Structure 1
Amino acid sequence: MPKGQGYGACQTKRWLILLLLLLWLGPPVAPGMEDAAFPHLGESSQPLPRDCPPRCSCPRVDTVDCDGLDLQVFPDNITRATQHLSLQNNQLQELPYNELSRLSGLRTLNLHNNLISSEGLPDEAFESLTQLQHIYVAHNKLSVAPQFLPHSLRVADLAANQVTEIFPLTFGEKPALRSVYLHNNQLSNGGLPLDAFRGSEAIATLSLSSNRLSYLPPSLPASLERLHLQNNLISKVPRGALSRQTQLRELYLQHNRLTDSGLDTTTFSKLCSLEYLDLSHNQLEEVPAGLPRTLAVLHLGRNRIRRVEGARLQGAQGLRYLLLQHNKLGGTGLPPGALQSLQRLHTLHLYGNGLERVPLALPRRLRALVLPYNQVAALGARDLASTRGLTELNLAYNCLASARVHRRAFRPLRALRSLDLAGNQLTQLPARLPSSLHALRLQRNQLRVLEPEPLAGLDQLQELSLAHNRLRVGDIGPGTWHELQALKVLDLSHNELSFVPPDLPEALEELHLQGNRIGYVGPEAFASTPRLRALFLRANRLHMMSIAPEALLGLPHLRVVDTTGNPEQVLVRLPPTAPRQPRAGGP
């Protein structure tokens, strides 16, 4: 046999053998499907489903995810084994009864953010969903709630619809139900039956906020822990409406129409677990009576309270946060000792009232006293003596003048870390400031001079704001910055500085000099601040060559130089080690 013929015959035989082998093994596996076609032996995860609706994902045999596909029709080919079905963020207007009812094993149904109306959500469909635990139909177009939801339900979210009515078996007779969300609907008291939650004594969270309720609904579940009723039209809490809610910890009633006559001494007295009560943005003229001793936070801001009677607070001995901002407390609105029974009080907010002095005889454990936007015009030597443990004192935007701030006014506050005196009428720094200060804010006063003495001993100060005053470089005494060894942020913006003040603190990282009269930055301007990271020089009088080439070269950490709003675009030469970022500049 010729050599070529023998070679061809051998090749033919090899191809025949390979073909027979492939036929015996079956068709080749597509790339990326090896694990699906041949699952690993001993693998514990559930196998992927063979059928999945078009464009949806089915990560497990019991899960179908069709989120955000702009679907207008309920997808077909959903396997009966599905337990978790998500159809949120689509364009569905209705759910077909026959498709939904056959998914009897469904546990989670997510229909959030569709166009489903009450007519498109058949009640009969839920009768076969005996395993359903979570239903999410928020942000749809429901006008009434489903008349029947499964007995097995645990979480029901019908928020942000147009619901005007719910029915006894919508949420009633659900022993496992824990959370109900009905906020942002159009529910009035007439649309909420008396037996709406009968037989559902495990509900812990109920949200009825942003509806049209005119009084607090009666017959609420005794199991409630969180009750949201804010943004309604509630003017009255009927007597006994909260008598059974002994587990309630949070009650939100802000932004309603509550008046003193809409509450009585028993309204809150039975709430023996209550910790948070928000009554802000109502029409109350007095602090409510009968507050429980468990209460930790009481929010009464934006009411019409003119006077705080100590007797109204005696029961709330566990109170830690009392918020009374934006009321009508005048010169006698908070009598001395009115809060003395609140021995655990940590924070007191009183801003936006008409107080003429710091309240006397405040609780000794007070840590934060917030009093901006009042009429406080003087600070005596003993005004703060009862609150030696303060760590935060805010007296911004009052009427304080230097002549009426006693030299020893701040001396008792040895733990003070933050002092805000912005927006007053101070012409000089207060004396004997606590050495514990970390932040001192004196912007928007009338400071004309800075001397070393008031800043002596402030070796922990990290932030100092002197913006919007009348300071000139010549008015800053020699050695003023000497003891501020920890200062990282210094704000001297919007003063009358004509050049960068010398001998700034070595630890400085952020320097605000915008809005001054600086026309030139010399080569030694930042010689004392090698750690500077951010420099703000916008809205001064700088021109293209106003910053000496050497001025910034000794600042290896400098990352931001802002020179916008000057007469010309300013040439900025960053240090060689600094990353090359766009330089702020321009007229």
Structure 2
Amino acid sequence: MQLCSGGFLLLLLASVPPSFLLKDQEEDELPLTTTRPTRVTAAQNVSGCPSKCTCPTEETVDCGGLDLHIFPSNISAGVQHLSLQNNLLQELSYNELSRLARLKTLNLHNNHITSEGLPDEAFESLQLLQYLYLANNKLTVAPQFLPSSLRIVDLAANRLTCIYPFTFGHKPALRSVYMHNNQLNNTGLPFDAFNGSDAVTTMIFSSNRLTYVPQNLPRAIVRLHLQNNRITRVPKGALSSQWRLRELYLQNNNLSSEGLHPSTFSRLKSLEYLDLSNNNLTQVPAGLPANIVILHLGRNRLSVLPPERLSRVRSLQYLLLQGNPLTVAGVHSEAFSHLRSLHTLHLYNNRLDGIPLGLPRRVRSLMLLHNQITRVGLHDFAATYFLAELNLSYNRLYSAHIHRLAFRKLRLLETLDISGNLLTLLPAGLPASLQILNLQKNQLNSLSPELLANLTILKELHLAHNRLRIASISPGTWQELHGLKLLDLSYNELSYVPPDLPESLENLYLQHNRIAVIMAEAFLTTPNIRVISLRSNRLLAANVSEMAFADLKLLEVMDTTGNPEPINISLLQAANWTQTQMGT
């Protein structure tokens, strides 16, 4: 195999082989291939099938996974689909390949083929070849000449440092190129690498060593994956002709705002998905196209959101801004004002000390966890009528700093998470639409029916890791919770099972409390319960009444491990119960 020479720089190969990553192909590009063959018995093989291989038809030969060291010598010249994946081949014989002139699919994935073992003319006579799979081998330079008939070429997970003009170029039928997990940098990628291959729609060059976005890419490209490289800039005009591009992955690079020209993205009129996360951007890129649906800007260095950068992206539905140094002062009140389609906004892991002004009016999912928010005011959520999921966990909220009417307008709110704060009381004025309420890891020391009133469709209530005692749970606390199915009171200070639990309850978690006795009436009001966890309490066998479980016909799991004594409970009356308790 001739190494890159002439106008190409000779590249040293690295010693660590990359790991193979699976690609996802377009359905209409999948060949009638033997990549996932149906195994047949020897009796079903057609005549002339190579030893140990399977041949369901005269055109299909599967010799995959046979630990072959040598290319089979007796393959029929009429074969069209040949699988040799998962073997130990180190080289390909030109003489053997040249006989297979009718070959359309050749799968050599996961062998030990080296560039030295792959002659320049290896595929010369395969003028009908459409699908070539050479992923996960030991190639250091790409094949110099590939047939012009190819539709898909997969060279992923090799050690490639160089490709040639005729590797991917001058192939009018070529649709997909997979080059991820190699060692390719820009000097090994010629400017004319795709000349004459104008129909390419999918290019996967992720996990290489590129330092800038390649230029002169095919105009028909739809999916371009360049994540996990070392890209610091996008040259001016590099993407100016790719007006069909819909997906652009640039995450996990070294892009700075200075490396993006104001017109970098402006001509990508079809762009719907843009991932710029985990870079070094200090500003939202200018000139973002209006049709973007998903925009990832997380884990950058954004400290401000001005009004003009996002306002023209009218189709935006998902905006991900997590892991930046954004403050409330840095978020302009008009930053989201024109984003009428935006329904998911991630602002977690920033430096917000309050709720930003001007939140998108139609937002449905708002992630504000892991910030420094100290208060929720009367008007903070007054305009977000469509909010269905709100996460305020792991901030610095005190009960006194959440306005009693803060959630009054959220009549569609289904999930509220305020865990990991400093609350001593449940927030007032919770919406009747709530289905999941998470308040774990606070300092709650009391529960009262007034604060849970009207939550008739609440399904899950998470109160673990608080300071609740039986005496601090007022009578009637659960009376409005007619739909509650899961109640988590673990890691509190309860001395026995709370009375009058809702009839609808199915899952009850009481582990790591101080429960020392289970009385006969403990589960009298919960006939539908399926799971009870009493792990790591203070239970002694003599203090556990078997009558407490006698009528629990649906009970499936009861965990009493970690108590001072093993607890043996006969649940023969519970017809569907399977004994899963441990340590008995």
Q: TM-score, normalised by structure 2?
A: 0.91
- Alpha-carbon distance change, 171 to 546 in structure 1, aligned in 2, over 3 angstroms: farther
1:478 aligns with 2:465: no
Candidates 514, 517, 524, aligned match of 2:514: 517
SS in 1 for 2:387: coil
Corresponding residue for residue 127 of structure 1: 124
> Which digits, 9 at most, give the CA deviation of each residue in 1:91-115, with x for residues without a partner?
1111111111101111111111110
Corresponding residue for residue 5 of structure 2: none
Q: What is the letter of the counterpart of residue 361 of structure 2?
A: R
* Alpha-carbon separation, structure 2, partners of 1:572 and 1:296: 56
* Alpha-carbon separation, structure 2, partners of 1:384 and 1:94: 66
Question: How does 1:515-554 map onto structure 2 within 5 Å?
Answer: 515-554=512-551
Corresponding residue for residue 501 of structure 1: 498
1:109 aligns with 2:106: yes
1:50 aligns with 2:47: yes
SS in 1 for 2:91: coil
Is this contact kept in 2: 1:568–1:586, CA < 8 A? no
Question: How does 1:153-552 map onto structure 2 within 5 Å?
Answer: 153-552=150-549
Shift of 1:574: 2.6
SS in 2 for 1:128: coil
Q: What is the letter of the counterpart of residue 204 of structure 1?
A: T
SS in 1 for 2:541: coil
Is this contact kept in 2: 1:417–1:439, CA < 8 A? yes
> Which digits, 9 at most, give the CA deviation of each residue in 1:197-234, with x for residues without a partner?
11111111100000000000001111110100000000
Candidates 38, 58, 66, aligned match of 1:61: 58
- Alpha-carbon distance change, 360 to 79 in structure 1, aligned in 2, over 3 angstroms: same
SS in 1 for 2:519: coil
> Which digits, 9 at most, give the CA deviation of each residue in 1:64-107, with x for residues without a partner?
11111111111222111211111111111111111111011111
Is this contact kept in 2: 1:547–1:571, CA < 8 A? no
The structure with higher relative contact order (CA 8 Å, sep 6+) is: 2
SS in 1 for 2:396: coil
Q: What is the letter of the counterpart of residue 328 of structure 1?
A: P
Shift of 1:364: 1.2
SS in 1 for 2:56: strand
Is this contact kept in 2: 1:565–1:585, CA < 8 A? no
Shift of 1:573: 2.4
> Which digits, 9 at most, give the CA deviation of each residue in 1:160-205, with x for residues without a partner?
0000000001011111111100000000000000010111111111
1:78 aligns with 2:75: yes
- Alpha-carbon distance change, 35 to 68 in structure 1, aligned in 2, over 3 angstroms: closer
Shift of 1:545: 4.0
Shift of 1:576: 3.3
Shift of 1:564: 1.8
Is this contact kept in 1: 2:223–2:245, CA < 8 A? yes
Is this contact kept in 2: 1:546–1:570, CA < 8 A? no
Shift of 1:577: 4.1
Is this contact kept in 2: 1:307–1:334, CA < 8 A? yes
> Which digits, 9 at most, give the CA deviation of each residue in 1:453-507, with x for residues without a partner?
1111011100100000000111111111111010011100000001110111111
Shift of 1:362: 1.6
Q: What is the letter of the counterpart of residue 234 of structure 1?
A: I
- Alpha-carbon distance change, 34 to 154 in structure 1, aligned in 2, over 3 angstroms: closer
Q: What is the letter of the counterpart of residue 584 of structure 1?
A: Q
1:570 aligns with 2:564: no
Shift of 1:404: 0.9
Q: What is the letter of the counterpart of residue 490 of structure 1?
A: L
- Alpha-carbon distance change, 124 to 546 in structure 1, aligned in 2, over 3 angstroms: farther
Shift of 1:121: 1.9
Is this contact kept in 2: 1:572–1:583, CA < 8 A? no
SS in 2 for 1:373: coil
Is this contact kept in 1: 2:328–2:356, CA < 8 A? no
Candidates 549, 555, 561, aligned match of 2:552: 555
- Note the aligned Cα RMSD (angstroms): 1.6
Is this contact kept in 2: 1:519–1:543, CA < 8 A? yes
Is this contact kept in 2: 1:566–1:586, CA < 8 A? no
Is this contact kept in 2: 1:554–1:575, CA < 8 A? no
Corresponding residue for residue 92 of structure 2: 95
> Which digits, 9 at most, give the CA deviation of each residue in 1:16-52, with x for residues without a partner?
xxxxxxxxxxxxxxxx99997xxxxxxxxxxx52111
* Alpha-carbon separation, structure 1, partners of 2:581 and 2:115: 57
Candidates 101, 115, 120, aligned match of 1:118: 115
> Which digits, 9 at most, give the CA deviation of each residue in 1:128-157, with x for residues without a partner?
101110011111000000001111100100
Q: What is the letter of the counterpart of residue 509 of structure 1?
A: E
Structure with bigger gyration radius: 1
* Alpha-carbon separation, structure 2, partners of 1:302 and 1:33: 53
Shift of 1:586: 2.8
| Segments of 4+ moved more than 6 angstroms | 32-36
* Alpha-carbon separation, structure 1, partners of 2:273 and 2:77: 45
Structure 2, gaps ≥5 residues long: 1-39
* Alpha-carbon separation, structure 2, partners of 1:497 and 1:333: 45
Provide the identity percentage: 58
> Which digits, 9 at most, give the CA deviation of each residue in 1:404-463, with x for residues without a partner?
111100111000000000011111111111100010000011100000011110111001
Q: TM-score, normalised by structure 1?
A: 0.91
Structure 1, gaps ≥5 residues long: 1-31, 37-47
Is this contact kept in 1: 2:42–2:54, CA < 8 A? no
Q: What is the letter of the counterpart of residue 209 of structure 1?
A: S
* Alpha-carbon separation, structure 2, partners of 1:234 and 1:35: 55
Count of residues paired in the alignment: 545
Q: What is the letter of the counterpart of residue 389 of structure 1?
A: F
* Alpha-carbon separation, structure 2, partners of 1:123 and 1:249: 35
